[in-house]
């Protein structure tokens, strides 16, 4: 299959929503004892990210910062969007629960149909969209009740969900994987070993660059953290059009490239 994909490919987008980072982003959630990012550093990386989306052919709506919610820059966790409509999720971190009501008005302005997850907890960072279905990874932020409720919500839009396991000590399912094209997944060795991607071709992250697994395919390009030189070389060798994007500051709060935008293809 062509690296460029068809018009209906799950990485073909022309619209996106992002949110300006708040100054409180330096207090964002993280695992372990990583040092805090700087606000100026996160803001610069966010601006570079928006520029990369726009250069890839995406019209970007930028929502204002929410100082009360340090993690609100990561708009993919409280919602999922599709051409057919949006699903308001129930984030697994208690401090993020009210982000849903903050983003809901912006989604209702764009989508005629907006439905809400009725039970359980689920983060968008645990949901990988593939050509055949949506893979929902169980994690500390997404439980089985939330995953089952999400499958029912997806059915309302004509989409199928599949529950899978996220490796231990991995924040989100997509922390460890991303879609490169209709047939190919980029993932960590640990996730590859689970066999969850049996129907796909796999490209495995180079040693020491497991964090690069959260790449982001946007139309004809693949966004990759600019610090991951071995990954960039690997994907370039495989003839993907790689666009390096700085992520060293947002990486300090366990973030990657997919979580900073909600993306869809509008008619």
Answer yes or no: is 75 within a domain.
yes
> Is 187 marked active-site?
no
Burial, 7: exposed, middle or buried (Cβ in 10 Å; 0-12, 13-18, 19+)? exposed
Instruction: Please check the confidence at residue 118 and state whether its pLDDT lies above 80.
Output: yes
Query: Is residue 3, in this structure, part of any structural domain at all?
Result: no
* Length in residues, the chain: 267
Is the predicted pLDDT of residue 217 greater than 70, yes or no? yes
Q: Over the chain, what HEC string results?
A: CCCCCCCCCCCCCCEEEEECCCHHHHHCCCCCCCCCCCHHHHHHHHHHHHHHHHHCCCEEEEECCCCCCCCCCCCCCCEEEECCEEEECECCCHHHCCHHHHHHHHHHHHCCCEEECCCCCECHHHEEECCCCEEEEECCCCCHHHHHHHHHHHHHCCCCEEEEECCCCCCCHHHCEEEEECCEEEECHHHHCCCCCCCCEEEECCCCCHHHHCCEEECCEEEEECCCHHHHHHHHHCCCCEEEECCCCHHHHCCCCHHHCEEECCC
Residue 228 located in a structural domain: yes
Residue 31: the pLDDT is 81
CATH number of the domain encompassing residue 220: 3.75.10.10
d(CA 236, CA 228): 12
pLDDT at 11 over 60: yes
Q: Rounded to an integer, what distance in angstroms lies between the CA atom of residue 258 and that of residue 235? A: 17
pLDDT at 2 over 50: no
181 domain-assigned: yes
- Write out the two tokens for 221: 């390009």
When comparing pLDDT for 8 and 206, which is higher? 206
8 in any annotated domain: no
Answer whether residue 1 shows pLDDT above 50. no
pLDDT of residue 5: 63
User: Is 168 a member of any domain?
Assistant: yes
Is residue 139's pLDDT more than 60?
Answer: yes
Q: Which of these is catalytic: 153, 177, 187, 259?
A: 259
pLDDT for the residue numbered 3: 64
d(CA 100, CA 54): 25
172 is catalytic: yes
Region 132-150: what's the mean pLDDT? 97
Count how many domains the chain has.
Answer: 1
pLDDT of residue 7: 60
pLDDT, tens digit (0-9, with 9 covering 90-100), for 62-80: 999 999 999 999 999 999 9
- Indicate the pLDDT class of residue 223, thresholds 50, 70 and 90: very high
CA triplet 208, 211, 213: central angle to 5 degrees?
110
Domain around 73: 15-264
Instruction: State pLDDT tens for residues 239-267.
Output: 999 999 999 999 999 888 999 999 999 99
What pLDDT shows up at residue 258? 96
**Does the pLDDT of residue 8 top 90, yes or no?**
no
In this prediction, residue 34 has a pLDDT band, given cuts at 50, 70 and 90, of confident
Confidence (pTM): 0.95
Model pLDDT, residue 33: 73
- Burial class of residue 138, CB neighbours in 10 A (0-12, 13-18, 19+): middle
Q: Give the separation between CA 144 and CA 164, rounded to whole angstroms.
A: 10
Domain-located, residue 113? yes
Least confident of 23-32, 148-157, 210-219: 23-32
* Residue 87 CB-half CA count within 13 A: 27
The residue-averaged pLDDT of 132-154 equals: 97
Residue 32 confidence class, pLDDT cut points 50, 70, 90:
confident
Q: CA-CA distances (angstroms) from residue 17 to 51, 63, 104, 109, 221?
A: 13, 7, 12, 12, 19
Angle at CA 100, nearest 5°, toward 99 and 101?
Answer: 95
Share the mean pLDDT of the chain: 95
User: For residue 10, is it within any domain?
Assistant: no
From the candidates 46, 153, 172, 177, give the one annotated as an active-site residue.
Answer: 172
């Amino acid at each position: 299959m062509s690296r460029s994909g068809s018009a209906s490919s799950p990485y073909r987008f022309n619209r996106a929503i992002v949110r300006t980072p708040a100054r409180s982003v330096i207090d964002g959630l993280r695992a372990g004892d990583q040092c805090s990012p700087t606000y100026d550093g996160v803001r610069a990386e966010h601006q570079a990210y928006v520029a990369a989306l726009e250069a890839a052919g995406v019209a970007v709506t930028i929502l204002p910062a929410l100082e009360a919610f340090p993690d609100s820059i990561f708009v993919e966790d409280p919602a999922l969007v599709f051409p057919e409509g949006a699903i308001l999720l129930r984030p697994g971190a208690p401090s993020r629960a009210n982000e849903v009501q903050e983003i809901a008005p912006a989604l209702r302005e764009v989508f005629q149909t907006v439905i809400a997850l009725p039970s359980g907890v689920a983060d968008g960072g645990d949901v990988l969209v593939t050509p055949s279905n949506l893979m929902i990874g169980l994690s500390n932020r997404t439980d089985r009740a939330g995953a089952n409720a999400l499958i029912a919500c997806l059915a309302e839009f004509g989409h199928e969900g599949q529950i899978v396991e996220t490796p231990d000590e991995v924040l989100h399912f997509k922390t460890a994987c991303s879609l490169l094209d209709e047939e190919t997944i980029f993932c960590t060795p640990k996730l590859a070993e689970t066999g969850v991607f049996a129907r796909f071709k796999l490209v495995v992250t180079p040693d020491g660059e497991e964090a690069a697994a959260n790449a982001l395919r946007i139309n004809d390009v693949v966004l990759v953290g600019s610090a991951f030189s071995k990954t960039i070389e690997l994907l370039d060798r495989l003839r993907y059009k790689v666009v390096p994007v700085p992520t060293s500051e947002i990486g300090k709060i366990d973030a990657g490239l997919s979580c900073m935008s909600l993306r869809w293809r509008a008619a």
